[in-house]
Chain A
Amino acid sequence: MKKLLLISLLFIGIQHIAVAQDFKEGFVQEEVDMRRYDKDTAAHAVYLNEYGNSRIDVTSDDHIRLIYNYHAKIKIFDNKGFSNGTIEIPIHNSDDVSEEVTDITGTTYYKDDNGLIQKIDLDPKKVFKTKDYKYGSTVKFALPGLRNGCVIEFRYTLISPYWDSFRKWEFQDDIPKIYSQYEVHIPGFWTFNASLRGPYKLTKTTSELERECFTSHGSKSDCSHLVYGMKDIPAFVVEDYMTSPKNFLSAIYFELVEWTNPYTGVKTLVSKEWKDIDRQLKIEDAFGSQLKRKDLMKERMAPVIAGKTTEMDKATAIYAYLQKWYKWNEYIGISSSDGIKRAMDAHTGSIADINLTLITALNAAGINTEAVLLSTREHGNINTLYPVISDFNYVVAKTNIDGKSYYLDATDPLLSFGVLQLKCLNDKGRVISLDKPSYWVELSTLQKTSEIHTLDLILLENGKIKGTITNYYSGYDAYLQRKAIKKFNSVDEYIEDLDGKLPKIKILKSNISNLDSLGQPLGEVFEVEIDAFENMNKAHLVFNPFFWEKRTTNPFKLAERDYPVDWGMARDNRLVLTMHLPPQYVVETPPQVVAFALPNSGGMFVTNFDNHDNEFTFSNITRFTKAIYMPEEYPYLKELYNKIVLTEKTDMVFKKK
């Protein structure tokens, strides 16, 4: 009885604090009258006010929980803004605990058909919950009675058992906000680092000490009460060829540094410096402990590397074996929660299950291999000021052979040894090993990709062109091309489809090499016959030497660019065309011979032409030496593409002698 009373008192106390800084709820005449948002007149809706409050506290069932209150008021100008009236709150769960959303209320204020102010409340029966996947659900509701010009207001409380991942706050959204404020109450038992992302400055920050705000079973502490506010936040607009919007959205993030168990007084340093994280990862069941299971892997890899002598042979054998062994279960993450043994026995696992198996297996075979924690492009960039373990959502292997490092991901059976998928080529990775301190590697400069096309053609008297087209793909392009071919049940079906897509070109014979030898460049040789000219009785024949791959529009169209163009890797594309004309023809108009380059050797487009009698060779190279181009480089990139399009537009003319 006494305990119950204590908790309910505490609850009232906290509510009082929580309400203290929140904006006033309810109808405001000016808000319903508001016709447009002057700072963004194109906006269909605007946040009039938004407020969030997170605190770590003890709930009535005597658990320590992260309690998050959310309150927002949105003005909806017209029906294109109605989608803002449907609220979706994603929540997470583990096998035994779950986040919960409670106390949902919602109200719409509007002028009715007769111009009278009305309000309508959300019916609690119309709040729905869907189960999305094993560890996630969504709570959803639609505000009632939306009309052009209405104001919606809603609140909810989210109670989370995951107090170690303190809630971030996104100041910016895809509609503008007039004001957004986040408050946190952190008891002295916990220490978090806060970091602000995005281009906008906070317009309000305060901090104060709250006396004895946390009490449980006789244990007490003061809280830091921190307030972050931002005014007039513009809508966020996504641009083409950018990485995760998270990298650019204005938001505040928190990372647990240390905490003291309020009941036992035991202090746990979660993250302070990388050496602490290193130590923690090394002993963690779902990470370091798995990397130590070398004996298990020694046994399982023995037959795989039997007879192999060099480290390279062993490494490629193990990599290929595990690529084939595993079927990725579509889950990502850096922890192997069920362990690599269970994953191996089941032939399936998460990114961590599979790649920790790989790292351990390679080490077991005596090949020095480290783990690389990274954040996928979609997941956003890494905070490099101090360690933020939740920034990472993916792990790959870095194996070191004869002084060279190879980055490996065994979760995709089509990836060549040393090639990562585009999604992994983002910012930096942190290299973790059992025996030395961790360190950063740059992932955005890791990879290159290239294609070479060789066309050897003869123009026949009957107007047809015969010859061979050879394509070689290396690096990531080889991966993409293998994927495209493997979409078909057989190489024959791929050729049939390709032939079908090239109406003027008949593929007479074809040969695909190294489709399954992932270590080699992928080769395609096509013997072709092209219906080039219907009528050869003409004085002039027009021919475009870029016909195999012609770029007709500039992908870069913006006058100004706000965010970097991020392709993930450097690229190189060459084409060499050799052509024999019938003896009575000569080249009258050659293709343009040009050389354009980006500043600081950032890239180039170069063509070359060589003509002897009725034979000519034309080649061109397009090269981008960097993965990322900054906004100030954008105009150059745009202009280079413009020149490419212009050059490729120009036809050659052959003349009858």
Chain B
Amino acid sequence: MRAGLLLFFLLIGNLYASAQDNYDVSLISKDLLPYASAVVRNNEVSVEVKDYDNTLYHIKTAVTILNKNGNNIADIVVWHNKSRVIKSIKGIVYNQFGKPISKFSESDFEDVSARDGFSLFQDLKVKHYNPAVTDYPYTIVYEYEVKSKQSLNFSDWEPNSTTGQAVEKSTYAFSCKPDFNIRYKEINMPVKVVTGINKDGYKTYTWQVNNLKAVKDEPYSLNEDKYLSCVKIAPEKFSYEGITGSFNNWKEMGKWIYDKLLASRLQVPGATGSYMKQLTDGITDPKLKAKKIYEYMQGKTHYISVQVGIGGYQPFLAADVDQQNYGDCKALVNYTQALLKTVNIDSYYCIVEAGSRKQSPLSDFASMNQFDHVILCLPFKNDTTFLECTSQKIPFGFLSDFTDDRLVLACTPEGGKLLHTPKYTAPNNLQQRKATFVLDAQGNLSGEMQTIFKGTQYDNRESIIEEAPKERIKSLQKEYAINNMDIEKAEFKQDKNLQPVTTETIKLSAGEYGSVNDGKITFLANATNRTHTVPREIRNRRHEVYINRGYTDEDEIIYTLPAGYHLDMHPNDVSINKPFGKFSATITVNGNELKYKRRVQLLDGTYSKDIYQDLIDFFQAIVESDDNNVTLTKGN
């Protein structure tokens, strides 16, 4: 009887298991289908910290690919290297009815070097595979196990960060030996953690989410961490590539980085030190000294990224950079810091998340994986200056749109400090153009224009300036939508001050700029700076409107009109004033001179989602105004 009962339980158990694994596509809730090209049926991520140098990841995913656009979601990608070893990978493909049609295993995977698009070398490889299925929908179910020899970083859990993918169920189960302590941070999570102790006596932390709809791209959207669900985990004590440590906050993390990764890297050869002294001899202002040394570093080095082992976090020795003249952001910042040290100028090695989109680390949760770049900070009293060390041409103290206006962690001997980099405001980010053109009776245009670029617009012309003179002309012809533009002369001047300015002067002519027809000349009033695109309309916008960075564009064109012609028709003046921006375009005529003035200003900030339609209307008004013709008629 007892045996019979046991058998009964086993049977139930089996039934339960197979019901769980039913991948019939018709079982997917209709609510999850809009904007989805794939639906995650079940994703189970289990992380088990067995020891400081032994963490086991077990990932099991079942995902249904609804159509061809979902194929990239079927890509199985597993990173590995010496300290991250793949234990097993296997999987099964199911058809739309949930019937298995094929299997795959590790031998089907291609193993290639990881490519980040800018590194010469990284010691990271990637095994990847995409099953060949042509009947949609289909479901792939795969699982893999990876053993990691470090306990410093645990991947963030982001149950639905992929556009076009909905999620039925996703689970994150973190477990660790009893004496391993963690901090965790729940971001935009609909549920809270469930904690417990498992049968091995390990502490467990589990999160589960169900029925997440597909994320849809929205223009002018907030940073993802403002609306996507995420769990971050950081250890109290850890081991990484043979180095141990512990930290619980930014101060301690900065201290650990300084002590263990940076302090020993700062020596440069004596000769270099003497040369730095010689170079700055006679300069008393420490800021000007720093500028001199920074420019020396820029002239001497160039950016090459090589990432091996601990080298992912630790810079090359300053002495190596001194000899090789190259390095990545870590190495070049460390080298600059070392050079400055030879003339007794203190500086901070600052880690940052770089990119045009401004991204700051969480102020209340310290972890290593919130950064991807390093800059240098000169903590002069009341005049904190930041330096980007990977560019050979960026002006001293200028960060452009790569690391501006965000928090960075300065790693100092006293510990970590969160600092804020300078903000370039909408009025600062100025492009200001003045043109004087002559229009003749055949519609030909000729004249000169001068444009100055400031703030984050300073480097608008950077790639053109790099080109050979002949190529510059071609690029400028593409830059300006002036039909038939011939450039007689183009000159650039760059003032590399703390508020750098680029000045562009162009002498040009454009045959048949105006079209002559029936005694009338028609031409576009805005020859120089036309907007062509309007953000697309979004039905049921979900998120607030976010303008990442503001700018101002001003154009003033004075046309000398051909003799004997007068204004026949011209567009109405436009003036729009919104909380997020201003636009005006005016035409005034004085004798045979027509003056066109245009100003656009976009103000950064976060706005209610309800203003999105206003933003569309704003840009639409600009596009229409930019498209307006002026018509001249012969005679009085």
Contacts and interface: CB of A to CB of B under 8 A. Distances in A.
Interface of A: 42-43, 79-80, 82, 86, 113-114, 120, 126, 128, 130-134, 140, 142, 144-148, 237, 324-327, 329, 346-348, 413, 486-489, 493, 496-497, 499-501, 503-504, 540, 542, 552-554, 557-559, 589, 592, 642, 645-647, 649-651
A553 B480 CA distance: 9
A130 B121 contact: yes
A128 B486 CA distance: 47
With a 10 A CB-CB cut-off, give which of A80, A148, A486, A646 has the most chain B CB atoms.
Answer: A646
27 contacts: A42-B470, A79-B302, A82-B302, A114-B275, A120-B323, A132-B112, A132-B115, A142-B304, A144-B323, A144-B325, A146-B326, A148-B299, A325-B134, A327-B132, A327-B133, A500-B536, A500-B538, A501-B536, A503-B617, A554-B484, A557-B477, A557-B478, A557-B485, A592-B517, A642-B483, A646-B483, A651-B629
Interface of B: 35-37, 66-69, 110-113, 115, 120-121, 125, 132-134, 164, 275, 299-300, 302, 304, 306, 323-326, 392, 466, 468-471, 474, 477-478, 481, 483-486, 511-512, 515, 517-518, 522-524, 534, 536-539, 569, 616-617, 620, 629
A57 B470 CA distance: 46
A131 B110 CA distance: 10
A554 B523 CA distance: 15
Contacts of A496: 539
A101 to B, nearest CB: 15
B325 A347 contact: no
Given A80-B466, A347-B132, A347-B133, A500 B537 contact: yes
Given A42-B469, A132-B113, A142 B275 contact: no
Contacts of A82: 302, 392
Nearest to B164: A489
B513 to A, nearest CB: 9
Contact of B515 (A80, A346, A646): A646
A647 B325 CA distance: 56
Nearest to A414: B68
B contact face: mostly helix, strand, loop, or mixed:
mixed
Nearest to B469: A42
The 5 closest A-B pairs by CB, nearest first: A348-B132, A500-B536, A42-B468, A130-B113, A128-B121
Nearest to B219: A500
A371 B369 CA distance: 53
Given A146-B325, A651-B629, A131 B484 contact: no
A651 B474 CA distance: 30
A489 B35 contact: yes
Contacts of B620: 503-504
B512 A489 contact: no
Given A82-B302, A148-B299, A486 B68 contact: yes
A327 B134 contact: yes
Contact of B517 (A120, A497, A650): A650
Nearest to B571: A542
B474 A142 contact: no
With a 10 A CB-CB cut-off, give which of A82, A346, A540 has the most chain B CB atoms.
Answer: A82
Contacts of A642: 483-484, 511-512
With a 10 A CB-CB cut-off, give which of B36, B69, B523 has the most chain A CB atoms.
Answer: B69
A329 B299 contact: no
Contacts of A645: 483
Contact of B113 (A131, A146, A497): A131
A236 B125 CA distance: 35
A79 B300 CA distance: 8
A348 B470 CA distance: 47
A596 to B, nearest CB: 13
Contact of B302 (A146, A346, A500): A146
A647 B470 CA distance: 30
B67 A489 contact: yes
Given A79-B299, A120-B323, A327-B133, A131 B111 contact: yes
B132 A650 contact: no
A147 B300 contact: yes
Contacts of B536: 497, 500-501
A592 B518 CA distance: 10
Contact of B121 (A140, A326, A501, A554): A140
A503 B537 contact: yes
Nearest to A142: B304
A120 B537 CA distance: 59
Contact of B524 (A80, A120, A486, A649): A649
Nearest to B300: A147
Given A113-B275, A145-B325, A503-B617, 18 more contacts: A130-B121, A134-B112, A142-B324, A144-B323, A146-B326, A147-B299, A327-B132, A504-B620, A554-B483, A554-B484, A557-B485, A589-B518, A646-B483, A646-B512, A650-B515, A650-B517, A650-B522, A651-B629
Contacts of B325: 144-147
A489 B69 contact: yes
A646 B520 CA distance: 13
Contacts of B534: 501, 503
Contacts of A79: 299, 302, 392
A496 B275 CA distance: 65
A650 B514 CA distance: 9
Contacts of B113: 130-132
A42 B466 CA distance: 10
A642 B511 CA distance: 9
A56 to B, nearest CB: 31
Contacts of A557: 474, 477-478, 485
